[in-house]
Structure 1
Amino acid sequence: MADDSVTAKRVAIKKMQQPFVMTMSAKRAYREFILLTTIQHPNIIRLLNAFTPDSTLANFREVYLVMELMTHNLHEVIHRLR
C-alpha cells in the first residue's frame, strides 16, 4: 500500500521480481499485464501504472504494478459468501 503523490489516493503496489528470467515467469507476467490493461469490469482491479526503477536493460530486474487499492482481500470476500 502506498499514497499516489499525483492523485493523493491510496494504491496497491505489486513488485514482480525478475519476471523475465524464466520463460514461464515471463509468460505469467505478460499475461497479468495484458489482462489488467484490457479487462474493464467493476469487480476487477485496474492497473493504474507500471514502472521499473532500473535505468538500463542490463540492470532490468523488477517491475512494479500500481493498482487500485481494494478494501478487502479475496479470502475475506469468499469467507463472507459462505
Structure 2
Amino acid sequence: MADIDRNIERAGAAMQAYALSADGWRAGPSENLRVLLSDLMHWCDATQHDFEQILASARHRYEAEKNGVTDRR
C-alpha cells in the first residue's frame, strides 16, 4: 500500500472514531472534522504544543508527500 493510502486509512480511522462517538453519529463528516481539529487545539494547549507551528509543518509535509517527496523531517 502506498504511503498516501496509509495516511488516508489512518485519518479515516480517526474520523470513524469521532463519527461513532455519542455526539458524532448525529453529525456529518465536516462537523466531525471541525470537532477533531478543535479537540487537537485543546490538546495542544493542555500539553504545551504550538498548534499553528505544527499545522504549518504538517502543511509542508502534505505538499511534499503530494509531490512524491519522501524525506519526512
Question: The TM-score by the shorter chain falls in which range?
Answer: 0.3 to 0.5
TM-score (structure 2 length as normaliser):
0.34
TM-score (structure 1 length as normaliser):
0.32
**Higher helix share goes to which structure?**
2
